[in-house]
Amino acid sequence: MSHLVTTAVRPKACPCGALVLAGVAEGLHVWADPVGLNRAGWVAAILAGRETYRLTRTGLVALDSDRAKDDRIGGPIVARHKCREPIPPHHREISTPPQIENTKEIPF
Ligand SMILES: [Zn+2]
């Protein structure tokens, strides 16, 4: 049981102009980019030395090697904010757009 405080995140403006998620994760103040990472983005963030977190209902959960494998921790993976280094589009988790059947009929 950890005695370190974790708080829910709040949107905040970074001095660089980016919107960040600000919260306390196990006693440490964290500003994270409000962008869910896909697997490639997660790997890229780790290789770049950026801490990664799961965004949960109660706040940010730091992902260490044990927690990274723990499927019980749900929620999107986000990375620590770095000014002027936004998450590139191909590293963002994109929800699948709904499939619209093209029947070539006029829909009215
Ligand atoms: Zn910034």
Which tens digits make up the pLDDT trace of 47-67? Answer: 999 999 999 989 999 998 888
pLDDT in tens, 16-31: 999 999 999 999 999 9
d(CA 94, CA 32): 18
Q: Is the dihedral of CA 45, 82, 96, 102 positive or negative?
A: negative
> Could you tell me the distance, in angstroms and rounded to a whole number, from the CA of residue 86 to the centre of ligand 1?
9
Compute the distance from residue 50 Cα to the ligand 1 centre, in Å: 14
Which chain residues have CB less than 5 Å from ligand 1, an ion? 14, 16, 18, 83
Cα–Cα distance, 68 to 98 (Å, whole number): 29
Instruction: Inform me whether the pLDDT recorded for 5 exceeds 60.
Output: yes
Q: Are 44 and 91 in contact (CB under 8 A)?
A: yes
- The Cα 21–Cα 76 span in angstroms is 13
Distance of CA 19 from the midpoint of ligand 1 (Å): 8
